[in-house]
Chains A and B, each alone.
Chain A
């Protein structure tokens, strides 16, 4: 690159080069201003959400940024109106179970698809990839019937237990990481008499730590934000996860309900905030996950 730049400087007069740099700087400033404008648009809804959650009922739709008076009571009110702590606990429990099981099962399965050589392996792996195209609604009803026949409707099991059997996208992703590991790494351990499970546990697992964290945070997010499965499987309010809880609060206090939007807004903050905190803690993994695999977040 430097060679090309040098050749170019000999052709172009330095005044032209300086003008070019000035123009580049000018454009960079314009770009930053534009981006700041977009940032305001992207962030503003959050700011007003928090602000509205602290406003009085009469003020909740007002465009003022700073609530006056500040109604901390809204949070107490929503806490009393709904078992939010319970729902928060349910969401955490289901999210951790879903993320842990899918991470471990996909790591094992992906190892099977990358280290071992056996007939039909690549055909099977193409089948794994093909299942990603299947719309969830095709299997939705029969899967519901399975859980119903097991008597597990209205329990948390249907929300996470399928993760024990892996998930196509994550299997694909972890396999991509395994393929970068040299085979000799494993052969050496095998010569030392290590079993296959030992190889997975002590070589494959630690070396793919980053990939596993990416899978974990993505699945936790997917579980935390899911409405459809709780809507299908959960009947008792004490089993609800936060999204279904928020939906019931919205139906009761929002549109067509008692019109207490400040309560709805306070509940929305409670549902959103944990995810934002997790995002900032694991930002690197979220961004890496999307950028390297093109996953839709």
Chain B
């Protein structure tokens, strides 16, 4: 029996009621999200913005100080260091991980069924808890006895002080981050498999060589996936926390990493929960939010020029 015939048999006034009932039921179904949005997102955003205009150390009630926290940020060398470190990390990590993941995915796409096995192997580091990754890499990167420098020794290279030399702390962290590139590989591989084969056939007939096919068929067809990983990677790399906190902060001190490994979210966390400067930490959170908004906006604008959407 179709819906229409049922509706037709109902008294005229009931139809509106049915629609209203559907609307009410729909709102009931999404109500958990609406409630959660007000309690855990919208409300806290307002409070956080308010707190950023106060001095608040949890023990005494907050006092309003206007924009002083934001002014203080400009003159805070630690904050500038942490911002510099996070941007430095993002600038190295994002392009390297995209190139590395894309290379692996391109090779995987050419080996047929065997790809499944390798894909699993590459993804394993991504299910490893971040604290375990930090711990493991602290041990691997040990300058004197760690396996990485021992491996370099085999080739006659004297490895750098990955965990002791301030100039090498961040490159060491980037190296560690490339180990967890597996999920990006899987995204690219899925995108590569969606490229219709007849496009390559056509390019072949037109006499396009391997590079030309890659440049003019593959890249445009997977540009959506590249764009997605670019945005997600930039946002997440600016917020790196757990691995580095595990390696260099907490109940231990590593003097070399105290400023070379101080990333934005680590400094924010320390301001909030170690020094109990809730006001200052809130102001820091808003600065990060604004930076991420601007970056995402720029990327969305630029994407119109280089991202190809099929049928769009």
User: Which single residue of chain B is at the shortest CB-CB distance from A196?
Assistant: B25
Does any Cβ of B come within 8 Å of A138's Cβ? yes
Contact status A63-B150, CB under 8 Å: yes
User: Which one of B70-78, B104-112, B165-173, B211-219 contacts A?
Assistant: B104-112
Q: Which of A63, A145, A243 contacts B131 (CB 8 A)?
A: A243
Determine the distance from Cα of A268 to Cα of B129 in the docked complex, in whole angstroms. 9
Interface positions, chain A 253-297, Cβ under 8 Å from B, are 254-257, 261, 264-265, 268, 271-272, 275-276, 278-279, 283, 286-287, 290-292, 294-297
Contacts of A131 in B (CB 8 A): 37, 41
Contacts of A162 in B (CB 8 A): 36, 40
Determine the distance from Cα of A294 to Cα of B2 in the docked complex, in whole angstroms. 38
Contacts of A297 in B (CB 8 A): 123, 126-127, 182-183, 186
Does any Cβ of A come within 8 Å of B288's Cβ? yes
B110 vs chain A, min Cβ distance (A): 5
Size range of the interface on A? 35 or more
A230 vs chain B, min Cβ distance (A): 10
Query: Number of B residues contacting the other chain (C-beta, 8 Å)?
Result: 110
Known interface pairs A265-B139, A268-B136. Does A42 touch B179 (Cβ–Cβ under 8 Å)?
yes
Contact status A251-B250, CB under 8 Å: yes
Contact status A279-B127, CB under 8 Å: yes
Contact status A141-B22, CB under 8 Å: no
Known interface pairs A227-B131, A227-B246, A256-B254. Does A291 touch B121 (Cβ–Cβ under 8 Å)?
no
A1-31 toward B: CB 8 Å interface, digit per residue (1/0)? 1001100100000000000000000011001
Contact status B183-A256, CB under 8 Å: no
Contact status A275-B198, CB under 8 Å: no
Q: Which of A116, A191, A272 contacts B25 (CB 8 A)?
A: A116
Does any Cβ of A come within 8 Å of B12's Cβ? no
B272 vs chain A, min Cβ distance (A): 6
Contacts of A283 in B (CB 8 A): 120
Contact status A46-B124, CB under 8 Å: yes
Query: Which label, helix, strand, loop or mixed, suits the secondary structure of the A interface?
Result: helix
Does any Cβ of B come within 8 Å of A202's Cβ? no
Known interface pairs A116-B29, A141-B272. Does A135 touch B3 (Cβ–Cβ under 8 Å)?
no
Contact status B47-A291, CB under 8 Å: no
Contacts of B163 in A (CB 8 A): 255
Contact status B135-A250, CB under 8 Å: yes
Does any Cβ of A come within 8 Å of B286's Cβ? yes
A171 vs chain B, min Cβ distance (A): 7
User: Which one of B87-95, B289-297, B303-311 contacts A?
Assistant: B289-297
Does any Cβ of A come within 8 Å of B53's Cβ? no
Determine the distance from Cα of A166 to Cα of B32 in the docked complex, in whole angstroms. 7
Known interface pairs A61-B146, A116-B26. Does A271 touch B285 (Cβ–Cβ under 8 Å)?
no
B267 vs chain A, min Cβ distance (A): 11
Does any Cβ of B come within 8 Å of A38's Cβ? yes
Does any Cβ of B come within 8 Å of A165's Cβ? yes
B11 vs chain A, min Cβ distance (A): 17
Determine the distance from Cα of A287 to Cα of B104 in the docked complex, in whole angstroms. 16
B227-241 toward A: CB 8 Å interface, digit per residue (1/0)? 011001101100101
Does any Cβ of B come within 8 Å of A137's Cβ? yes
Does any Cβ of B come within 8 Å of A34's Cβ? yes
Determine the distance from Cα of A33 to Cα of B10 in the docked complex, in whole angstroms. 71
Q: Give 21 A-B contacts (CB < 8 Å), ordered by A residue.
A: A1-B201, A8-B204, A39-B118, A45-B179, A105-B32, A112-B29, A121-B26, A139-B44, A140-B285, A141-B282, A142-B45, A162-B40, A165-B36, A191-B1, A196-B29, A200-B29, A227-B241, A250-B252, A256-B253, A279-B124, A296-B232
Ranked 10 nearest A-B pairs via Cβ:
A165-B36, A116-B26, A112-B29, A142-B44, A118-B23, A61-B145, A112-B30, A297-B183, A291-B190, A139-B44
